[in-house]
Amino acid sequence: MQELKIDSSFLLTDTNVIISSFNGINEEHSKMISKVPSENLNNTVVVLTQNNSNVLSSRVDIIHYLENNNIRYFFGYNNGINSLNNELTFKELFIEKLKCKNIIFSDELIDHSSFTRLCAMNGVNVLSSQHKPEEINKKIVELISEGNISEVNSMLARPYRITGEIVYGKQLGRTVGMPTANLKAISGTVIPASGVYVSLSNIDGKNYIGLTNIGTRPSVDDFEYITIETFYLDFKGNLYSKILDLDIYHKIRDVIKFRSLEKVKEQVNKDIVSAKNYMKNHL
């Protein structure tokens, strides 16, 4: 996929342009893409507007999603979406640079009357504007914060993903034979409510089911900070400093305080059975 930049020259004609942040890729984004005639997808540019809200999709995930939908070009626009209603900005970006013929946008982000007027003045066809991806994302954020991941995943194009670096923790899991990977999520990520979740990560080309504990660790310390720790089933190796994607599938239970690490191990063994059964039916 090719990134277009304002200070670069590129040869495009009669393009279709979709304007959205594509943060939290949901059904509304799919609808926006579907408005482009299938034979013209290769001549479509997605203008990725700056996301000022919670991070629901990483830039890498967004690019992969667009590629999978046969879109070849994207343009990162970071000057504030309201500036697109400026006549000079409109002409420079959409007419002179992108050679826009058709456009699709969300009227929840751009003033509909002003923007459609600019389109009409410059001979650009508005294919669709009645889209509400950000409205859906607000609901998704609420559901994530409540720990209702199953419903969240029904609204997204893929299971909810947390991306981050594996960092050193207290390594207490090793003492009971269940080492965990402590993930430091990228800034702005919406963290699910405290609980134990079924998860999945691709490590070196292979998928591993995980048990992810999100929240405090009342069984091992009294600290109030939140951690994201995953015990990967059947994995052996060193993950420190790796950047991993953690796909969250389902909440198994709430965080519980146990009397001893041995009791923790007993519960984790039960959780492993639950995780395997869930993934057997949902992968």
What's the chain's Rg over C-alpha atoms? 22
Q: Please tell us whether the domain made up of 2-135 is placed in CATH 3.40.50.620.
A: yes
Q: pLDDT confidence of 217, banded at 50, 70, 90?
A: low
Structure tokens at 259: 């009397």
Question: CB atoms < 10 A from the CB of 155, how many?
Answer: 17
The pLDDT tens digits of the residues spanning 21-79 come to 888 898 889 999 999 988 888 889 999 887 666 788 888 889 999 999 999 899 888 88
Predicted pLDDT at 211:
94
Q: Rounded to the nearest 5°, which phi and psi values hold at 44?
A: -110, 135
The pLDDT value recorded for residue 76 is 87
Q: Worst-scoring range by mean pLDDT, 21-30, 120-129, 219-228, 241-250?
A: 219-228
Cα maximum dimension of the chain: 72
Q: Which amino acid is at 63?
A: I
In this prediction, residue 209 has a pLDDT band, given cuts at 50, 70 and 90, of very high
- Grouping H, G, I as helix, E, B as strand and the rest as coil, residue 191 is coil
Q: From the DSSP assignment, how many helices (H) and strands (E) are in the chain?
A: 7, 12
Could you report the per-residue pLDDT of 6-18, keeping only the tens digit for each? 777 777 889 999 9
How confident is the model at residue 37, as a pLDDT?
Answer: 83
Q: Could you tell me which CATH number the domain at 159-282 has?
A: 2.40.30.30
HEC profile of 19-47: EECCCCCEHHHHHHHHCCCHHHHHHEEEE
**DSSP element (H, E) containing 88:** helix 87-90
Over residues 195-210, the mean pLDDT reads 95
**Would you list the domain boundaries of the chain?**
2-135, 159-282
Q: Is 153 helix (H, G, I), strand (E, B) or coil?
A: helix
Q: What pLDDT is stored for residue 246 in this prediction? A: 96
CB atoms under 10 Å from CB of 129, counted, come to 19
Sheet holding 73-77, edge to edge: 2-4, 73-77, 44-49, 15-20, 100-104, 125-128
Question: What are the DSSP E strand ranges found in the chain?
Answer: 2-4, 15-20, 44-49, 73-77, 100-104, 125-128, 160-167, 181-185, 195-203, 206-215, 227-232, 243-253
**What's the whole-number average pLDDT of the chain?**
87
**Pseudo-torsion of CA 223, 227, 233, 237, nearest 10°?**
-100
Amino acid at 138: K
Q: What Cα–Cα distance (Å) separates residue 256 from each residue in 114, 147, 194, 264?
A: 54, 15, 10, 9
Q: Facing residues of 235 across strands?
A: none
